[in-house]
Structure 1
Amino acid sequence: MEKILIVGGGYAGFYTAWGLEKKLRRGEAEVTLVDPHGYMTYQPFLPEVTAGSIEARHVMVSLRRHLRRSTIIAGHTTSIDHAHRTATVRTNDGAIREIGYDTIVVTAGAVTRTFPVPGIAEEAIGLKHVEEAVAIRDQLLTAFDRAALLPPGPERRRLLTVTVVGGGFTGVEVFGELLSLATSLLRSYPELSFDDLGFHLVDTNERILPEVTDEPGRWVVRHLEKRGAHLHLGTHVTSAAGGRIVLADGQSYGNGMLIWAAGNGSNPVVARNTDLPVDERGLVRVRADLRVGTDDAPVPDAWAAGDNAAVPDLASAVPGARTVPNAQHAVRQGKLLAANLVADLRGKKVRPYIHHSLGTVATLGIGQGIFQYRRLVIKGVLAWLMHRGYHVLAVPTWERKIRVLLVWASAALFGRDIIPLATVQQPRAAFLAGGDPFAGAAAGAPAQETAPRPELSVVRHAG
């Protein structure tokens, strides 16, 4: 049988494997998928996970449950030697394996783009994995509990100050959702006031949401500022050390939580550890039909899609344009890739990828959103409902759709759950401390230190 190896189980990788299982005849090919996680994360829902509007497990789709005819290997692909049709994998138990294949599909995803800024590695939390979203939510809820015990002053304000770096969709959505959560929490904390909150969004560009046109982008800025947010545009963070943010324009303030959403960088496996052709950004060069290479020099038996691939955007009027790295493209590229693999295997014609945007939509918190399709712009509650409607239809499997809808329905009736579970990151802490997971706090250490802050995430491994 043909051996097909898929590197990465995110959008593109999952949908490729899922499509292959539906289209391949039994005995026609053997599919192996390598990913360090046992699930695909529906990332557009992560901002709502941080705000407690969606349960964490409901944005994850089990690979083993839905890919029953594929072999799932839990591990990181560390290198690809296409000349010899082998990939090196470090499994989650630390073992090194070489996997042979006939055809490879590279959907390893992107990494978080970081910069050598003091304090980032120690202070920042990324937002590419569901574990990070849960940690962000728990840290904010824990900060409210701690701040309620303090008198008004700088330390209370520092605990309740949140900085988000990155004005793209991920940064703006998590910023809006957390601002909405924090504002609603004040009803449960009479000791605290709105003046204790500090929400800062930082971006090097002079505007946010580059996917929308200028006026809707300016409206979002005005909308967030009316809700008490501070937007620092055209500047960047020069230091985050010691719980203090310093900006290039000279501003400085105490900070309790730093969320890094400054965009994507190339996956190091793709950029540096493969003999497949890559462009100047470290992305795999692919043709419009998702085959690796160029029209003049295709690479046999190699395909790629998703955030680690430079896919030509045939729907764009700009010469040489590439598809933007988002879920809308990755899902559709994965579906086409499965169809093209089967067609190529059977000696039939493959199709180019072309997709006209359905518009852009973003949530800005409960009841607030923005949608744009060409010149049509919708704001407020209707845009927020459109955001929820689109994404609940887009999340894979009916089981996940129904679970998300049920959580939304219960939240509409009873509100969001505001119980933090910060110590879950160290489940043995209570056992070792004789039943008190916050024993360290009694000696002067902050209670949340019993659950260390997650390191800034880099590799997404998601397609």
Structure 2
Amino acid sequence: MKRILIVGGGYAGFYAARGLEKRLRAGEASVTVVDPRPYLTYQPFLPEVLAGSIEARHAAVSMRSHLRRTKVIAGRVRKIDHAGRTVVVQPPDGAEFSLDYDVIVVTAGAVTRRLPVPGIAEQAIGLKHVEEAVAIRDQLLTSFDRAAVLPPGPERSKLLTVVFVGGGFSGVEGFGELLSLASALLKRYPEISASEPRFHLVEGSGRILPEVSAKAGGWVVRSLERRGSVVHLNCTVQSAVGGEVVLTDGSTVDAGLIVWTAGNDANPVVRTHTDLPITARGLIIVRPDLRVGTETDIVPDAWAAGDDAAVPDLAVPGTYTVPNAQHAFRQGKLLARNIAAALRKRPLVAYVHHSLGSVATLGLGRGIFQYKKITIKGPPAWLMHRGYHVLAVPTWERKIRVLAVWLTAAVFGRDIVSLAAVEHPREAFLRDGVTNRASVLS
């Protein structure tokens, strides 16, 4: 029985495993997924988790619950030795171990690109995982609580200042949703005036949202500025030591919350710890049918897709597919189809997908959608965003849970309780607990 090993449980890996479960006959092959997090994070929902519009757990899909015939290993693959058909896995606890396989599927995804800017590693929070989105939301809520009891001054101003670095989809959507949450919080905090929360979006290029046209991106900038935020284009961060964000446009912003969304980088295991062929950017070289290799040189029993693979875009010849969820989950489905076909010596299918357009949320009731020359703005685009993603999120169970939270929020409003203390669960126990000395001595 063939042993199929999937490295990474993101969109491509999850859908590949799910498809293989449906396509493989009993005893035909075993499937194992290795990922540090034993769940799929539906990243398009992270901005809404950040804003409290979606419960955090509803943006994550448990692999153990939905991959019934797949072995799930919680661990990080440190090395891929395809010549020896083994990988080295580092579990959360204990020593590394080797795992053998017959067929490997690399869907490890990308990692957040962190530039060597002083202070960023110590001060910033990313926006790639559920726990990061929750931390950002809790920090903003806690900052409002703390600022409300402080007199006007630098400390209060810092608590109410937010800086997002990166003007791609993740950064702009997160920025718009957090700005929307801050505006809603003002109704509950009469001590804080509408002019006090300050939001800054920093982008190194001359425009935001490169996936849409320059005209549409310009409209988004103006929309954010009308809501009181400041957008810094052609600008980068020089330093963020102690929360003091120094920008190349000459301005300095003292921020209590810094969110880093400045693009993705190649996964380290793919870039430096594998004998599979990679591009200069550290992406695995794959064919249109998602086998690793080139048209003339195929690497046997190796497949790759998603953000860590250079997949030729047959819809736009001469380019590669962009790293987004729209491509990753479709490539995952094709992986399952082609791997099953290869096991049975049947013809393979090339990956071709024409873009369905780009849609982004900019906060409650605000959004933008663009498909070719068609651009839709405002509430209709926001509804399209919600409609598309509730259909795209895996499993009916998650769809129903998300819809239930949206309906509850529409009736009762957002939940504005911060659970930042959950990061230090023993703090109250140690601070407030009183030991009964008599009982101990007896």
Work out the CA distance in 2 between the residues paired with 1:61 and 1:79.
Answer: 26
Match of 1:453 in 2: none
Q: Partner of 2:333 in structure 1?
A: 335
Provide the C-alpha distance between the structure 2 equivalents of 1:145 and 1:381, rounded to a whole number of angstroms. 30
| Aligned equivalent of 1:419 | 417
Deviations 1:211-240 (A, max 9, x none): 000111100000000000100000100000
SS, match of residue 313 in structure 2:
coil
AA aligned to 2:320 is R
For 2:178, the aligned partner's letter is L
Counterpart for residue 19 of structure 2 = 19
C-alpha deviation, 1:95, in angstroms: 2.3
Aligned to 1:40: 40
**Letter of the structure 1 residue corresponding to residue 365 of structure 2:** G
Which residue of 2 is the match for residue 215 of structure 1?
Answer: 215
- Mapped to 2, the partners of 1:333 and 1:374 lie a distance apart of 23
Specify the alignment match of 1:256 in structure 2. 256
Match of 1:127 in 2: 127
Aligned-residue offset at 1:153? 2.3
Give runs of aligned pairs for residues 269-308 of structure 1, distance below 5 A: 269-308=269-308
**Residue of structure 1 equivalent to 2:145:** 145
Q: How does 1:83-94 map to 2 (within 5 A)?
A: 83-94=83-94
CA distance in 1, matches of 2:105, 2:271: 15
**Are 1:388 and 2:383 an aligned pair?**
no
Query: Quick one: distance in 2 between partners of 1:38 and 1:253?
Result: 38
User: How much does 1:137 deviate?
Assistant: 0.4
Deviation at residue 38 of structure 1 after TM alignment: 1.5
CA distance in 2, matches of 1:190, 1:5: 56
- Between the aligned partners of 1:115 and 1:264, the Cα distance in structure 2 is 11
Pairwise CA distance, 1:9: 0.5
Q: Secondary structure at the match of 1:188?
A: coil
- Please tell me the residue identity of whatever aligns with 1:367: G
* Cα shift at 1:343: 0.3
1:312 is aligned to: 312
- Structure 1 segment 433-452 matched on structure 2, within 5 A: 433-435=431-433
Cα RMSD between the aligned structures? 0.8
Give the aligned partner of residue 65 of structure 1: 65
Relative to the length of structure 2, the TM-score reads 0.97
* Local SS of the residue matching 1:342: helix
| Amino acid corresponding to residue 321 of structure 1 in structure 2 | T
User: Partner residue of 2:398?
Assistant: 400
Deviation at 1:410, TM superposition (A): 0.3
Pick 1 or 2: higher relative contact order, CA cutoff 8 A, min separation 6: 1
- 1:177, CA displacement in angstroms? 0.1
CA drift at 1:435: 4.9
Q: What's the secondary structure of 1:433's corresponding residue? A: helix
- Aligned-partner SS, 1:430: helix
Give how far 1:242 is off.
Answer: 1.1
- Cα distance in 2 for residues equivalent to 1:22 and 1:432: 50
For 1:132-281, what aligned pairs fall within 5 Å after superposition? 132-281=132-281
Shift of 1:68: 1.0
CA distance in 1, matches of 2:95, 2:332: 29
The correspondence of residues 363-382 of structure 1 with structure 2, limited to 5 A, is 363-382=361-380
Residues 305-329 of structure 1 deviation map (CA, whole Å, 9 limit, x = unaligned): 000000001111xx42010100000
Residue of structure 1 equivalent to 2:3:
3
Residue identity in the other structure for 2:242: G
Q: Which residue of 1 aligns with 2:438?
A: none
Displacement after TM superposition at 1:97 (Å): 1.1
> C-alpha distance in 2, partners of 1:94/1:184?
46
Name the aligned partner's letter for residue 294 of structure 1: T
After superposition, the C-alpha distances for 1:21-78 in whole angstroms (9 at most, x for unaligned) are 0000000001111011121010000000000000000011110111111111110000
Query: In 1, Cα distance between the equivalents of 2:183 and 2:47?
Result: 16
Runs of 4+ in 1 over 2 A off after TM superposition: none
Worse overlay, 248-257 or 116-125? 248-257
Q: CA deviation at 1:195?
A: 1.3
Cα offset, 1:164, TM superposition: 0.5
Q: Look up the SS of the partner of 1:201 in the other structure.
A: strand
Instruction: Find the aligned partners of 1:121 and 1:254 in 2 and give their Cα distance.
Output: 16
Distance 1:139 1:253 in 2: 18
Instruction: Give matches, 1:105-116, under 5 Å.
Output: 105-116=105-116
Give the Cα–Cα distance (whole angstroms) in 2 for the partners of residues 301 and 17 of structure 1: 16
SS in 2 for 1:337: helix
Report the AA paired with residue 420 of structure 2: A
**Aligned match for 1:410, one of 403, 408, 413:** 408
Normalised by the length of structure 1, the TM-score is 0.93
Instruction: Determine the C-alpha separation between the residues in 1 that align with 2:311 and 2:243.
Output: 40
Q: Which residue of 2 aligns with 1:459?
A: none
- Calculate percent identity across the aligned residue pairs: 68
Q: Distance in 2 between matches of 1:430 and 1:419?
A: 18
SS of equivalent to 2:258: strand
- Residue 154 of structure 1: CA displacement? 2.3
Deviations 1:402-434 (A, max 9, x none): 000000000000000000011101111111112
**1:115-158, CA deviations, whole angstroms, 9 ceiling, x for partnerless residues?**
11000000000011100010000000000000001112222121
